[in-house]
């Protein structure tokens, strides 16, 4: 059996499969990673996403945020990898997705049980009254955008530096990792904490770890049972086909 066949068999035999996704799954939708040579932090100063800087200089921060997350990311569409995971959920083989991405592409692909470890860029939240707004409800022509209910500063509803992981997403991710019989790790190399600990939690609770990455990662030798090298947009559709036996 090759790695894809082994992975498909593990998924078919599992009654609780969870996917854990990172920047690599969205790279094929044109969303660059934050880190590394071609990363966003080579072009922008990461301090624009530090909470203290954001409160002190909301207009400067928001200008960068609008460019990065709304003018540019806003146009990204889900790719074959996102669609394959949605298909796996629809067929009853996938319980949930834990994602480190904030791009909303799993939702747009049709997945419904998603724990967003780092929040979501498609909603804004009021820093005073905590009202939520969908992007599009609020104009970003004049910066910074303000709450229409109380007039206070709005912040994208994703996790900034110096900010904790949203409680519900964290609790849900830990629970899913503990219950997982199979965890499919896609496009994430295990460098961002505490997100990366979800893989070790799953492993400690007996899950089989399937890893789909371009190259081996921090997970590969410590946790991974089945490694499939390649692009998520090519490997995942093949894997889903194999699971479905089509």
Binding site membership: which residues? 126, 129, 147, 150
* Smaller CB separation from Zn ion, 78 or 144: 144
Q: What's the closest the beta carbon of residue 101 comes to Zn ion, in angstroms? A: 27
Burial of 105 from C-beta contacts in 10 A (0-12 / 13-18 / 19+): buried
- For residue 227, the surrounding DSSP H or E stretch is strand 226-229
Question: What CA–CA distance (Å, rounded) separates 170 from 159?
Answer: 12
Beta strand 119-126 pairing with 132-134: antiparallel
Q: Site for Zn ion (CB under 5 A): how many residues?
A: 8
Cβ closest to Zn ion, residue 105 vs residue 154: 154
Least distance from Zn ion to the Cβ atom of residue 124, Å: 10
Detail the residues annotated as belonging to a binding site for Zn(2+).
126, 129, 147, 150
The verdict on 184 binding Zn ion (CB under 5 A) reads no
Q: Which residues within the stretch 151-180 sit at the binding site for Zn ion (CB under 5 A)?
A: 152
**Listed ranges 72-80, 99-107, 122-130, 200-208: which one lies at the site for Zn ion (CB under 5 A):** 122-130
Residue 246, helix vs strand vs coil: coil
Q: Which residues neighbour 172 within 8 Å (Cβ) at sequence distance 6 or greater?
A: 96, 98, 115
- Site mask for Zn ion (CB under 5 A), range 40-79, x = bound: ----------------------------------------
What is the nearest approach in angstroms of Zn ion to the Cβ of residue 154? 8
82 is catalytic: no
The catalytically annotated residue of 118, 130, 132, 221 is 118
Measuring CA to CA, which residue among 210, 214, 217 is closest to residue 233?
Answer: 214
Does 126 sit near Zn ion (CB under 5 A)?
yes
Question: Angle at Cα 171 formed by Cα 170 and Cα 177, nearest 5°?
Answer: 90
Cα of first residue to Cα of last residue in the chain, in angstroms, is: 17
Shortest reach from residue 191's CB to Zn ion, in Å: 35
**CA 79 vs CA 31, 99, 107, 188, 215: distances in Å:** 11, 15, 12, 16, 20
Beta carbon of residue 32, minimum distance to Zn ion (angstroms, whole number): 32
The binder of Zn ion chosen from 90, 91, 129, 218 (CB under 5 A) = 129
The footprint of Zn ion on residues 133-152 (CB under 5 A) is 147, 149-150, 152
Question: How is 152-164 classified by DSSP, letter by letter?
Answer: PBEEEEEPPBT-P
- Please identify, using beta-carbon distances, which residue of 65 and 153 lies nearer to Zn ion: 153
∠ at Cα 39 (35, 40), nearest 5°? 105
Active site positions, annotated: 118
**Residues contributing to the site for Zn ion (CB under 5 A):** 126, 128-129, 131, 147, 149-150, 152
């Amino acid at each position: 059996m090759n790695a894809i066949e082994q992975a498909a068999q593990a998924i078919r035999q599992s009654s609780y499969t969870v996917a854990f996704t990172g920047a690599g799954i969205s790279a094929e939708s044109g969303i660059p990673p934050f880190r590394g040579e071609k990363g966003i932090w080579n072009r922008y100063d990461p301090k624009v996403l530090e909470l203290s800087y954001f409160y002190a200089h909301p207009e400067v921060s928001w200008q960068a945020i609008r460019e990065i997350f709304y003018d540019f990311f806003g146009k990204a569409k889900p790719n074959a990898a996102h669609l394959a995971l949605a298909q796996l959920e629809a067929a009853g083989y996938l319980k949930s997705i834990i994602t480190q991405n904030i791009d909303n592409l799993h939702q747009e692909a049709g997945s419904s049980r998603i724990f967003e470890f780092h929040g979501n860029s498609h909603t804004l939240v009021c820093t005073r009254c905590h009202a939520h707004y969908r992007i599009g409800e609020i104009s970003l022509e004049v910066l910074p955008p303000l709450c229409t209910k109380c007039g206070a500063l709005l912040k994208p509803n994703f996790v900034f530096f110096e900010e904790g992981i949203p409680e519900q997403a964290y609790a849900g991710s830990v629970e899913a990792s503990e219950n997982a019989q199979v965890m499919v790790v896609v496009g994430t190399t295990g460098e961002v904490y505490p997100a990366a600990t979800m893989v070790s939690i799953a492993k400690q609770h007996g899950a089989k770890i399937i890893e789909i990455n371009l190259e081996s990662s921090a997970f590969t030798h410590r946790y991974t049972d089945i490694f499939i090298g390649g692009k998520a947009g090519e490997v995942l559709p093949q894997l889903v086909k194999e699971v479905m036996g089509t």
